[in-house]
């Protein structure tokens, strides 16, 4: 069993990006600039945005943080998006989700200039990804694909089972694993809450990407020997032994599944660290105008 | 075995659309107007476009046909798209594919105002379909879904196998069968040329949507009893007994598969007739500004 070390891979990619940024700066190019819009004071969102700002510093990007209280109106937020769209210094920006209930998330996302949509949530980027055209691919699916690539895991013609059909992970990663590309070219099955014979389907899988958000859902008797398991779950479960009062739990019962797996990602330290570097990579691509002019 | 009669269903839908158009006109509303751009003199394209224009007449739409010789430049075609985008009388338009090799199809499609993209090929419509937002769904996948709906075929939790991963059929129909909706909510597997154990996968399917374009690919020993089979294949194969010199062949070996199937579409007369009425329905939705304002 090989433990996929997302922490080490993400550190390596950060180093690669930082080197490229140094070269860009040395040759008089523009420093990539990421802006993040944070609404309210949700604990998770605060943590994620802080980590993104920190990652920008580490790779040498410029970053801007725009904060709003949770009573910001949709109109105010749309005006902010419009300003960021027009700001020539900002190469890419994100609006941290979730947003307060009185704001229409889809409307905000669609207002973002898709050429600056480094989160890859805008319909133009989602559509281009499905068609197979160059685009910003959202962070978690991109991170998963990158892990498969760096560990040189064969995917062509393999049975890949995706557990979960969210717009953030399940659907996009299924779409990527299906494309004529490496990693990709797999036979892809998407399972979800309505799937009847999930155990049987999982037991036939060469690769399982678990993104249900159900702690320890995938048990040892649900996988075959030699399976590749990518665990996207990061649910906070109460844990009195931790200072924070919780620990992160994946969708995989690790102690049961790991002994049967050829490759497996741990939680934490697997997919998680990859998401932020995927955002950094998109910002670099945006800064270089590599995808859109 | 129930034979799914696409000809009858499409005639019924045409009647429904025609009635709605009569009501719109009676109440002083605008007559829906579809424009089609046809480049060159490809036999297939000529036939399809003529059928679309005829269908417009049948349901009471206004239609316009814009023709170019096959030496039209990309710039000229883009200018045409721009004019159609701006023409307030035209509710929706299509550029018949394929285009000559010197023209970038993706560029032409992306130039179309997505609010008039009744073919549903623009990345905004593809992306919104994937996300699950209202959009123009392309004709063949929409026609398949409508057949399942009209025949009240259960789909929730069923194993649906899609053969083929084209941008026109395989990917979009897989995406639709996956959505939380009826028809949909199925466990979806997408197979293609790289799939290793195709026979085994097909034998476990409750629903098979065959869109490979390989005549009589799906044989009797590849399906289980009670399967639902949607045959999207329409390959021209030489046939000396026909006046045209060819006949249309589906992807399914009908005489072997039909006796085992609960429902099956014939070729011709199954999915084929549904595609044009799906385009008519999109044009009606465009005329009524039901999806985009």
pLDDT in tens, B204-252: 999 999 999 999 999 999 999 999 999 999 999 999 999 989 999 999 9
Average pLDDT over residues A96-117: 97
**pLDDT-derived band of residue A93, with 50, 70 and 90 as boundaries?**
very high
pLDDT of B66 strictly over 90: yes
**CA B87 – CA B106 distance, rounded (Å):** 22
Summarize pLDDT for B20-63 with one digit per residue, the tens: 999 999 999 999 999 999 999 998 899 999 999 999 999 999 99
Cβ B49 vs Cβ B96: under 8 Å: yes
Look at residues B173, B110, B167, B188 and name the one whose alpha carbon lies nearest to residue A132.
B167
Write the burial class of residue B154 (CB in 10 Å: 0-12 exposed, 13-18 middle, 19+ buried): middle
- What pLDDT is attached to residue B52? 97
Average pLDDT over residues B63-83: 98
What residues does A243 pair with on adjacent strands? Answer: none
Summarize pLDDT for A205-249 with one digit per residue, the tens: 999 999 999 999 999 999 999 999 999 999 999 999 999 899 999
pLDDT of B91 strictly over 90: yes
Q: Within 10 A of B144 (CB to CB), how many other CB atoms are there?
A: 28
Look at residues A162, A116, A33 and name the one whose alpha carbon lies nearest to residue B178.
A162
- What pLDDT is attached to residue A235? 92
**Coil vs helix vs strand at B9:** helix
Cβ A151 vs Cβ A229: under 8 Å: no
Q: Which two tokens stand for residue B209?
A: 């949507």
- What pLDDT is attached to residue B44? 87
Q: Which residue of A has its CA nearest to B163?
A: A187
Angle at A84 between CA A116 and CA A14, to 5 degrees: 50
**CA A207 – CA A227 distance, rounded (Å):** 6
Asked if B159 lies within 8 A of A197 by C-beta distance, the reply is yes
Look at residues B120, B196, B206, B127 and name the one whose alpha carbon lies nearest to residue B162.
B206
Look at residues B279, B288, B292, B286 and name the one whose alpha carbon lies nearest to residue B13.
B279
Just list the catalytic residues of B: 52, 96, 119
Residues of A with CB under 8 A from a CB of B: 106, 122-128, 130-133, 156-159, 165, 167, 171, 175, 178, 185-192, 194-197, 201
Helix (H) or strand (E) run with residue A140 in it: helix A139-150
Asked if A125 lies within 8 A of B127 by C-beta distance, the reply is yes
Which position has the token pair 């399967």?
A: B227
Q: A63 — phi, psi (to 5°)?
A: -135, 150
HSE-CB at A33 with a 13 A cutoff on CA atoms is 12
Contacts of B155 (CB under 8 A, 6+ apart): B148, B177, B182, B183, B184, B185, B186, B207
ipTM: 0.95
- What pLDDT is attached to residue A44? 87
The dihedral region occupied by B237, where left means phi > 0, alpha psi between -120 and 50, and beta the remainder, is beta
Nearest to B131 among A167, A189, A191 (CB): A167
Domains, chain A, ordered by start:
27-120 (3.40.50.10860), 139-272 (3.40.50.720)
Average pLDDT over residues B180-192: 98
- What pLDDT is attached to residue B268? 94
Rg (Cα) of chain B, in Å, rounded?
Answer: 19
Show residues of chain A in contact with B159, CB under 8 Å: 196-197
Cβ A47 vs Cβ A36: under 8 Å: no
């Amino acid at each position: 069993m090989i433990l996929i070390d997302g922490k080490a891979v993400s550190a390596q990619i950060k180093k690669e990006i930082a080197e490229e940024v140094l070269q860009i700066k040395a040759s008089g190019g523009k420093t990539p600039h990421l802006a993040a819009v944070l609404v309210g004071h949700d604990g998770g969102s605060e943590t994620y945005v802080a980590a993104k700002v920190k990652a920008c510093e580490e790779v040498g990007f410029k970053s801007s943080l725009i904060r709003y209280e949770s009573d910001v109106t949709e109109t105010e937020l749309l005006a902010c998006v419009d300003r960021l769209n027009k700001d020539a210094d900002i190469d890419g920006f994100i609006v941290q989700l979730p947003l307060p209930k009185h704001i229409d998330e889809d409307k905000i996302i669609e207002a973002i200039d898709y050429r600056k949509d480094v989160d890859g949530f805008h319909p133009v980027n989602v559509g281009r990804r499905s068609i197979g055209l160059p685009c910003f691919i959202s962070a978690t699916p991109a991170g998963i694909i990158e892990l498969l690539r760096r560990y040189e895991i064969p995917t062509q013609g393999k049975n890949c089972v995706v557990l979960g059909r969210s717009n953030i992970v399940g659907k996009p990663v299924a779409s990527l694993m299906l494309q004529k590309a490496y990693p990709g070219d797999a036979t892809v099955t998407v399972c979800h809450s309505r799937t009847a014979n999930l155990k049987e389907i999982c037991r036939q899988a060469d690769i399982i990407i678990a993104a249900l958000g159900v702690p320890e859902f995938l048990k040892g008797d649900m996988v075959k020997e030699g399976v590749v398991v990518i665990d996207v779950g990061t649910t906070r479960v109460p844990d009195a032994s931790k200072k924070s009062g919780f620990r992160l739990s994946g969708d995989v019962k690790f102690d049961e599944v790991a002994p049967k797996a050829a490759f497996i990602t741990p939680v934490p330290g697997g997919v998680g660290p990859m998401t932020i570097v995927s955002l950094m990579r998109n910002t670099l691509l945006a800064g270089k105008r590599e995808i859109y002019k």
